[in-house]
Amino acid sequence: MSQSGAALQEYNNELVKCIEDLCTKRDELHRQILIEEEEKAKIQHDIRILTERLAKVNESLAKKMAARNDYDRTVSETETAYMKILESSQSLLKVLKKETSGLKQKT
């Protein structure tokens, strides 16, 4: 009987050790889970902040692109008008030279 009591005690000791090992592994896994949950929360926070920043940058870009398009249109219209002024000036100069030449011949 003493032998079965000793065997039972040995089994009990092994069971307790196995349970303690399982608890240790579970606790380590729980610690890792907490760390990863904290990291996940930080990443989600960073994503939210970056998403907000991206939206603001996109909005700013859209406004600046619209303004640039307005500048492009204004520059194009101004250049076109300036070219018409130059053409008119050239035509006026030709007419003036012709008239001046005609006046010189009359005198």
In a domain, 96, yes or no: no
In a domain, 71, yes or no: yes
What domain range includes position 45?
A: 1-81
In a domain, 77, yes or no: yes
In a domain, 35, yes or no: yes
> What was the pLDDT predicted at 5?
79
pLDDT at 18 > cutoff 80: yes
The 10s digit of each residue's pLDDT in 27-69 is 999 999 999 999 999 999 999 999 999 999 999 999 999 999 9
pLDDT at 1 > cutoff 80: no
In a domain, 102, yes or no: no
Total domain count, the chain: 1
- The burial of 15, by beta-carbon neighbours within 10 Å (0-12 exposed, 13-18 middle, 19 or more buried), is given as exposed
In a domain, 101, yes or no: no
pLDDT at 104 > cutoff 80: no
In a domain, 103, yes or no: no
**Mean pLDDT of the chain, nearest integer:** 94
In a domain, 98, yes or no: no
